[in-house]
Amino acid sequence: MINSFIFFCHYLFGLIVFTKKWQDENMPNALLNIGLVGILFAVGWSIATIIAKLFMEPKGLGIWYDRDSFSLTILTIGEYFFYRMYYKDTFINAAGRGIQ
């Protein structure tokens, strides 16, 4: 269930970035940004799985929060900070401040 929620959050973020880039720039840049998000997700999940193997057994903390859920949580936290810096100028509101 946690894995599904994290995948859905990534899907929703991808749709938002694609739509925003498509409206502000053009279709090739929107597709390029989706590719970037996809590659960073795949590579980041692999690295997060290596880190999770150091700290947690395969069965994890129970049936709902296993090692895969832990690695996806690590990935999501890391991506949050990276995308907050990378897409800083993309998500600006009318007052000129970043959306919190």
> What predicted TM-score, i.e. pTM, was given to this entire model?
0.79
Taking only the tens place, the pLDDT of each residue in 2-56 is: 889 999 999 999 999 999 999 988 999 999 999 999 999 999 999 999 999 898 8
Phi-psi region of 62 (alpha: psi -120 to 50; beta: other; left: phi over 0): left
Cα gap 16→30, rounded to integer Å: 10
- Confidence at 92, pLDDT banded by 50, 70, 90: low
What would the two tokens of residue 6 be?
């994290």
- Amino acid 17: pLDDT: 92
Cα gap 79→64, rounded to integer Å: 22
Taking Cα atoms as reference points, which of 81, 78, 99 lies closest to residue 90?
Answer: 99
